[in-house]
Structure 1
Amino acid sequence: MTLNVDKHQETSGIAGDYPSSRFSVAPMLDWTDRHCRYFHRQLSEHALLYTEMVTTGAIIHGKADYLAYNEEEHPLSLQLGGSNPVDLAHCAKLAQERGYDEVNLNVGCPSDRVQNGRFGACLMGEAELVAQCVSAMREVVDIPVTVKTRIGIDDQDSYQFLTDFIGTVSEKSGCDDFTIHARKAWLSGLSPKENREIPPLDYPRVYQLKRDFPHLTMAVNGGVKTLAEIEAHLEHLDGVMVGREAYQNPYMMAELDQRLFGSNKPVKKRREVVEAMYPYIERQIANGSYLNHISRHMLGLFQNMPGARQWRRHISENAHKPGAGIEVLQQALEKIPAHLDV
């Protein structure tokens, strides 16, 4: 497959470069924390990684450091939730000062909590406000400001509605980079989990959107599980975002750099990925973290392999114990048949 690399696809993993949207791991609440992102970085140097969605209120008023990350996570995007242009601009500026490579506005999450805060997918019905939010952020930062959205909400799911939204936001804010979850969102009647599964996927609609807005960078999200599917989408679009599959079956990312970014480095074996995590785990435990906070993200590494169940079980039963360290992972690796060169 020929690599078509433009300014949106230059990635060296160094803060300040324009991050690539060719492949990214979706922001997922309670999943893509900094430990998860460090783990995913062992599988791909070039994948664009996202934080969990962080609200402007948490950043501005919270006591914790919601912008903390490991330098090794670059290229890294901060996904913000909010609808106040002033607050979003303030948080975007903080993100740039902290070294983030991109800021992304969440216009796709359908949960009740998000709606009550007037952000997420409900903002699809307020294109003018979204444009104001993006404009305010773009005015104060030099890093890219991007938007993640759906193909529609509730009964506002016509193609015209989608093109009106994209057209308004792009023309009035200057935003030129969108990730489209190829499902609409039901703001009432479906849970967030159901909104990820029940509304049907409509990839052709996203392909048409790219044809109608050829000057915009467009990535698709939703239901993608294999590298072959990613490559098929890239025949039509600039990028692909993968969520649950990248988390539950992380080794699907192992050949990304070679197949999508032209890397000549050898593909890491699963054991090598585990062993590469040891120094990080030891540093984090020394700084007060617990093994299970890190190892929970690694449970799916051997999915569909002999010994995978024993791997998961040993970690689940032992990583939470006081004093647990890398020996738990070393013992879990022994559950994988030694003859497998993985």
Structure 2
Amino acid sequence: MIHSIYLKNFRNFSNILFSPPDGISILTGENGTGKTSLLEGIYFASRFESFRTSDDRDMIREGTQGFFIRCECRSTVIEIGYNGSRKKVKKNGVFYRSYFPLIGEIPVVIFLPEDIFLVSGAPEIKRRFLDITMGIISYEYREVLKEYRQALKHRNNVIKKIREGIENRDSLNIWNRMLSEKGSFLIQKRENFINSLLPIVREIFGRFSDRKIDLRYVNHSGIGEEYLKKLELNLDKELAAGYTLYGPHRDSIEILMDGVEASSYASYGYQRLIAFSLRIAETEIIKREKEQTPVVLVDEVINELDNRNRKIFLQVLENYPQTIIATVTSSFANFEKCSIFKLEKVNEATEIGRIT
């Protein structure tokens, strides 16, 4: 659980300190007051990246040279300073040369409007969901994924050089071996993860609807020697394409409702409920694997639910020690079970005050 989050020169904040209580906290305020930015700061302290941009410079307050984040939990304090080119990271006062080992040290799960694309979006969105979640619960997975991506980059460069007549086909042998080894590890871990995810998704979705949900990991390369042979036998295809066509970087998740692909069969409302169920299942698996319950962040999406499903969703969130919801209105809230905070602009600064 988060005791406090401090942001300096982050987005539109000159500086702001927020100490969320236990239970459900609701951040209200007009558009542009920084509700989503506050969630982004918490998320950044966990993942060392934003859910809104791939460029850290976008988060630097206009007219300043960098930002600072300090997030304090029970036994962990994470401090991040960013000067526009590199991050300086401390954990409990000790500098770390790389933030890589600290990813997920403060576990966080976020529900976003664009989560709908976990159901209806492109395969790379679904792969990213797998890789982020599995990277939080397993440092080994993060390491192997990093190594796989490096090997993939090298292999694609060799393919390019073969096409240009600079290298010969034998130059791929070492990269084929490495890709099949690292890729097979990732594929097996992803398949196991999907198998763990499915019963939780079904149980959660069952609270919203009696429709049946299935998840399948779609792999086109096989594993081990089968994967290696796929690379060797399809080299002509890859030379024509100019890049590697087989491996976990091309895989996806198939999401079915009543046996039919949900992206084309399920309504927008059902797709939203499936996305909610995936995020809740992610929360449960992180809780189980890390033996620590994530802080749950919710950005606006609660207003997309009808009254019945919103009530069910809030009942689920009540099971977690700490949830922070950003929304324009708090009219849906049970004021006995929620703490309400309001963000307001005062003389170009943002202030946060507790209402209930």
Q: TM-score range by the shorter chain?
A: 0.3 to 0.5
Structure scoring higher RCO (CA < 8 A, sep ≥ 6) equals: 2
TM-score by length of 2: 0.32
TM-score by length of 1: 0.33
Q: Which has the larger radius of gyration?
A: 2
